[in-house]
Chain A
Amino acid sequence: MAIDPEVIGRVLPSHSAEAEPGRLRFFAQAIGETDPVYTDVEAAKAAGHHGLPVPPTFLFCLLAEKPDPLALLDELGIDVRRILHGEQGFTYHAMAYAGDTLTFTSTVTDAYSKKGGVLDFLVQRTDVTRNGELIAELHNSLVVRNPEAAK
């Protein structure tokens, strides 16, 4: 089922999330990160940081904390079992640290089909700000598999 192109340009509701230190330590453990800069505040300070750094991909996790992460997929009639992550990108403007409250604002930038509708793509850009300062942009492409479209 093709994604309704009307959705392109839609700015989704913003949400804010705090980078909690305990959560950052749990994340470091889950990805096997052993560099103490990511778990020990003293080591982070010795490396020139003022707190535990938010690691490169963790902004994606805070993005996923929006109150109803599946709302857009539900509205578009997309079954979560059919989605694959197609692409993910980060452009960094400033470091984020434990204790920061970050605001995420996503815009649907594209929606299209390939292979006669077997694959649908939904592309979003998310601006991440801290007190109004842009600290990063996330680029995300989701792929929706529609195997029955080939039959």
Chain B
Amino acid sequence: MKLLLPRISRTDLALYAGASGDHNPMHIDLDVAKSAGLEDVFAHGMLSMAYLGRLLTSHVPQERIRSFNVRFTSITPVNARPTAIATVTKTENGLTYLDLAMTLEDGTVTLAGTAVIEGEIAA
């Protein structure tokens, strides 16, 4: 399962900050990002996790998601174009186990994680 996302714009980050309530200026204020020694703002990790959530709920009804866990392995620069990927690793005792990843065009893995789904997932 894959979901290719549009390029993440500054507008996307502003909208996500407002909708999520995460107003950390490192994601929306270039001046603050520079004051911390960065060249630019970077995307909220939780925006990428929300994209992975969209990938999951587009394949299984949400009420079947038992758990959803990620590690944020690399920052997502503004203007990056991520792809959400989920791979079934096993089905056991009525549960389907998935490996999750978010990758950028240059191959950087920004999130890596797992999900457990009740029942099987239609291919």
Chain A positions within 8 Å of B, measured between CB atoms, are 23, 26-27, 29-33, 35, 47-48, 53, 55-57, 60-61, 64-65, 80-92, 95, 139
Contacts and interface: CB of A to CB of B under 8 A. Distances in A.
Contacts of A85: 44-46, 72
Contact of B72 (A31, A35, A53, A84): A84
B69 interface: yes
Contacts of A26: 15, 18-19
Given A31-B50, A47-B61, A88 B6 contact: no
7 contacts: A53-B62, A56-B50, A60-B46, A85-B72, A87-B69, A92-B65, A95-B63
Contacts of B68: 56-57, 89-90, 92
A65 B21 contact: yes
A88 B22 CA distance: 15
Contact of B58 (A35, A64, A92): A35
B122 interface: no
Interface in B48-90: 49-51, 53-54, 56-58, 61-63, 65-72, 75
A150 to B, nearest CB: 14
Given A55-B57, A57-B49, A29 B15 contact: yes
B24 interface: yes
Contact of A27 (B19, B32, B35, B65): B19
Interface in B5-38: 5-6, 12, 15-16, 18-22, 24-26, 32, 35-36
Given A29-B19, A30-B16, A55-B57, A81 B49 contact: no
**Interface size bracket, B side:** 35 or more
Interface centre among A31, A35, A61, A95 (most CB of B within 10 A): A31
B47 interface: yes
B51 A56 contact: no
Contacts of B63: 53, 95
A91 B67 contact: yes
A81 B12 CA distance: 20
Contacts of A53: 62-63
A26 to B, nearest CB: 4
Contact of A30 (B20, B61, B70): B20
A91 B115 CA distance: 10
